[in-house]
Amino acid sequence: MKLWDKGINIDKKIEQFTVGNDREIDMHIAIYDVQASLAHAVMLESIGILNTAELQQLKGGLQAIAETIENGTFVIEESFEDVHSKIEFELTKNLGDIGKKIHTARSRNDQVLVALQLYYKEQLQQIQVKTKTFFDTLLSLAEAHKNQVLPGYTHLQVAMPSSFGLWFSAYAELLIDDVYMLQAALKTVDQNPLGSAAGYGSSFPIDRALTTEELGFATLKYNVVAAQMSRGKSERTVAMALGSLCNTLARFAMDICLYNSQNFNFITFPDALTTGSSIMPHKKNPDVFELLRGKANKIQALHTEMVLITNNLPSGYHRDYQLLKENTIAAIEDVKDMLDIFTYAIAQVQVQHIDLNDLKYQYLYTVDNINTLMENGMPFREAYQKIGSEVQDCTYIPDRSKTHTHVGSMGNLCLDKIKEKFPV
């Protein structure tokens, strides 16, 4: 069944190419199409297209479909082009002509739009919740290990003293910026496009404010052309927000892979969280973090894909938009899984004792020691040259007694302030 069927037989090769795997992808938005159809039916009754009895029957039919979706028995067979045609077929099969009325004053275009907007909205909220759990885990680790020194690096060379508390809470605070991006994306998709039909509205006196309220959108996309053009823009915005979050995840995962290696040996994980080698029995590979890094980097490319698909499309609907769904939905589902596994794995990290007497950390405190000389009255340039000469002459002896106390430093992490900053 196709919502646009005019009784013309479509070439099977053309049909397969144009439909693609929409049936599988649409399973993610099936429940949202039901929700939108319920709101649409309520609106049709309010303007006299449906009577009260018809509305009640449609509500019952849609709620029955929703139950099959929730219990996992809903199937979109190959005879259907997409979830929208399947749902209308079920309503018509069970309710007769009443089921045929559900498509009044709407197009498949705004059906897809509103279902996707509802999906994006709910999923972005879930991602924010999962990000908060990850954030809280990192702050707990920062508190637990705030006094354990961790060598800081610039250019991958030993630079200055840091701490595990500083490292964990750094990534926690970066997540706050990512949530700002997620909230911006959420605000973008929290606009009701239903009623735009094929992109130019309807001659029926539809009540778009009513469907906006029924569906829980913050506002509606007033201009019907703008509503249609939001497809693509929404995906670009969501992809940008996911990419920001994944940038943080990828960088953290890289740190973990580096610090877990024998050359650094700053952290380790229980054997059950690592994998081995088929020929090297000593290996404890951080595969989970390598895959997290790879998946996060892949998702960062999504925004570019969305831009290239939609970049030069004129106003109005184009079938190119169909290509936006698959990878956007896949990225959203991946990000949720990634946050879950990252939180689970990092909570089991084992912080190692670092021997600062090891020669490779000999120059970790040069800057602190320059500062001590300055506090005793020596100008900075002279102090710098003095310590520099000692380094060159191999006479430098580190003094590790200095403390860092300013806001945001290793001795003053401000974890409570960082926690307060997290958006609610």
Evaluate whether 119 touches 28 at the Cβ level (below 8 Å). Answer: yes
pLDDT by residue (tens digit) across 28-54?
999 999 999 999 999 999 999 999 999
CATH topology of domain 119-193+223-351: Fumarase C; Chain A, domain 2 (1.20.200)
- The yes-or-no verdict on residue 11 having pLDDT over 50 is no
Beta pairing class for 157-163 and 219-220: unpaired
- The yes-or-no verdict on residue 4 having pLDDT over 50 is no
Q: Which residues pair with 191 in a beta bridge?
A: 219
Q: Which CATH class is domain 12-103?
A: mainly alpha
Evaluate whether 238 touches 263 at the Cβ level (below 8 Å). Answer: no
Locate 402 and state its tokens.
């200095």
Could you tell me the pLDDT band of residue 286, with boundaries at 50, 70 and 90?
confident
Q: What is the mean pLDDT of residues 279-297?
A: 88
- Which residue intervals of 347-414 are DSSP H helices? 366-375, 380-393
pLDDT by residue (tens digit) across 366-385?
999 999 999 999 999 999 99
Which 3 state secondary structure label does DSSP give 388?
A: helix
pLDDT value, residue 314:
92
- Between CA 85 and CA 19 the distance in angstroms is 12
Instruction: Look up the pTM and report it.
Output: 0.92
Which 3 state secondary structure label does DSSP give 154?
A: strand
First to last CA, the chain: 44
Could you tell me the pLDDT band of residue 10, with boundaries at 50, 70 and 90?
low
In whole angstroms, what separates CA 422 from the centre of its chain?
16
Could you tell me the pLDDT band of residue 16, with boundaries at 50, 70 and 90?
low
Locate 98 and state its tokens.
């009443």
- Between CA 64 and CA 66 the distance in angstroms is 5
Evaluate whether 107 touches 23 at the Cβ level (below 8 Å). Answer: no
The structural domains of the chain, with segments of one domain joined by +, span: 12-103, 119-193+223-351
pLDDT by residue (tens digit) across 223-257?
999 999 999 999 999 999 999 999 999 999 999 99
Which 3 state secondary structure label does DSSP give 106?
A: coil
Beta pairing class for 191-192 and 219-220: parallel
- Between CA 233 and CA 310 the distance in angstroms is 8
Strands (E), 101-250: 149-154, 157-163, 191-192, 219-220
- Between CA 338 and CA 46 the distance in angstroms is 44
The total number of residues written for the chain in this structure: 424
